[in-house]
Amino acid sequence: MIDIKLIRENPEVVKENIKKKFQDEKLPLVDEVAALDKEFRDAKTKGDSLRADRNRISKEIGKLMGQGLKDDAEKAKQQVKDLDQELLDLEEKEEKLSQKIKEIMMVIPNIIDESVPIGKDDSENVEIERFGEPVVPDYEIPYHTDILESFDGLDLESARETSGNGFYYLVGNVARLHSAILAYARDFMINRGFTYFIPPFMIHGNVVNGVMSFAEMQNMMYKIEGEDLYLIGTSEHSMIGRFLNRTLKEDKLPYALTSYSPCFRKEVGAHGIEERGLYRVHQFEKQEMVVVCKPEDSMDWYNKLWQNSVDFFRSLDIPVRTLECCSGDLADLKVKSCDVEAWSPRQQKYFEVGSCSNLGDAQARRLGIRIKGEKGNYFAHTLNNTVVAPPRMLIAFIENNLKEDGTLAIPEPLRPYMGGMEKLEPVTDKKNTL
């Protein structure tokens, strides 16, 4: 959510930003908010004047009574009563105007950074840099579900019976590998100075509205029936929510946090054949990075965060690239964002395995996260980034570490979490297949 002062003082800047995001249908909202804001401020000014009149007349009542002017005192009391009613009506109007302004402001997109490339959708995102040499082996890389099943490590059929499409059972060494990746990611981030958290996996509606746009919420979040609780789609939601209505001490910043959680997503929409299996699922686990910092430090942190993801994937022999999100692909709260994409030898292309975002002070405004500075209070900046989100990351891992003989190499960093195993062998006697 942007500062309403920007609409008061520079509405054309807000309109130009809306055009850059190809959301021209929102242009009338700027003038609507400006008009509502003027009406609100006029009502507030009138209210202040009425309160001053009420206080003045109230003080006169005692004097009139002391002078024996009872009739005049009664008239003054009626004036105060009338002013009280007028103020009640005016305060109700102010509340309605304030709520309407907030509703519209939540829809107006954040001001994007000047470095963001202009484009209509994700087809116009821009590659920034590649890390590691993409390799296409001279042997076939099967589809990821076939690879995992070769290790007796995946059961989709049973999950469809218990839970429906978009769910899965990971089994045996594959399940252990999945947990090993998350444990390694946790320690990787702790070793980079981040504080480890396990947050709540459900949050209240006011936190949901603070961390994301309504459209995102509708497409992502599962609501608990009959309760003001939502299952988180990422631990960023509850981690940023932890700072709700807090005023932070400037000398305590930045907060560099890494959090583990299961994640639950509706994944609304149609997806192609290449997104079956474990590409698009309703439940997964993730290690996340979250930073709360001073505004002047947020871009430095943005670059540190995506670099952490790159370094993590490269430590597991997975080639990656960074892709700058264009203006039309940016969610409304974001100032700047890039995706980290891993190389798929089977598809011979990159696919998304994480996303790094700088949200400026948008979330902080919605959640009331302020910093207490020497010159007064101001809003914090918030950032988030994926360290790793298996099982999707698991797809990149197995494709890039699968050998011609069907074995799966375990890179050295993961071996301590796998009991020293250096590779997984295909299973011929599949005891876990029902």
Hey, where are the domains in the chain?
4-105, 122-424
Q: What is the pLDDT of residue 270?
A: 46
Quote the CA–CA distance of 94 and 329 in Å, as a whole number.
36
Mean of per-residue pLDDT scores for the chain: 93
Using the CB atoms, write b or e for 17-53: b if 16+ within 10 Å: bbebbebeebeebbeebbebbeebeebbeebeebeee
Quote the CA–CA distance of 235 and 239 in Å, as a whole number.
6
Q: What is the pLDDT of residue 154?
A: 95
Q: How many residues does the chain have?
A: 434
Quote the CA–CA distance of 360 and 110 in Å, as a whole number.
8
Quote the CA–CA distance of 212 and 208 in Å, as a whole number.
6
Q: Which residue has the higher pLDDT, 209 or 200?
A: 200
Could you report the per-residue pLDDT of 373-424, keeping only the tens digit for each?
988 999 999 999 999 999 889 999 999 999 999 999 999 999 999 999 999 9
Contact between 427 and 150 under an 8 Å Cβ cutoff? The reply is yes
DSSP at 246: -
Annotate 329-375 with DSSP letters as a single string: GS-TT-SEEEEEEEEETTTTEEEEEEEEEE-TTHHHHHHT-EEEETT
**Statement: residue 232 has pLDDT above 60:** yes
Could you report the per-residue pLDDT of 3-58, keeping only the tens digit for each?
999 999 999 999 999 999 999 999 999 999 999 999 999 999 999 898 888 888 88
Q: What are phi and psi of 253, to 5 degrees?
A: -80, 155
Which uninterrupted H or E stretch holds 103? helix 70-105
Q: Mean per-residue pLDDT for 262-278?
A: 71
Using the CB atoms, write b or e for 189-199: b if 16+ within 10 Å: beebebeebeb
DSSP at 402: B
Collect all residues with Cβ–Cβ distance below 8 Å to 109 and sequence separation of at least 6: 17, 18, 21, 23, 26, 330, 332, 333
Does 254 sit behind a cis peptide bond, omega within 30 degrees of 0 on the bond before it? Answer: yes
Q: Mean per-residue pLDDT for 206-230?
A: 87
Could you report the per-residue pLDDT of 311-365, keeping only the tens digit for each?
999 999 999 999 999 999 999 999 999 999 999 999 999 999 999 999 999 999 9
**Statement: residue 273 has pLDDT above 50:** no
Using the CB atoms, write b or e for 140-176: b if 16+ within 10 Å: ebebbbebbbbbbbbbbeebeeeeeebebbbbbbbeb
Contact between 214 and 254 under an 8 Å Cβ cutoff? The reply is no
CATH topology (fold) of 122-424: BirA Bifunctional Protein; domain 2 (3.30.930)
Q: What is the CA radius of gyration of the chain?
A: 28
CATH classification number, 4-105, choose in 3.90.1010.10, 1.10.150.530, 1.10.287.40, 3.30.230.80: 1.10.287.40
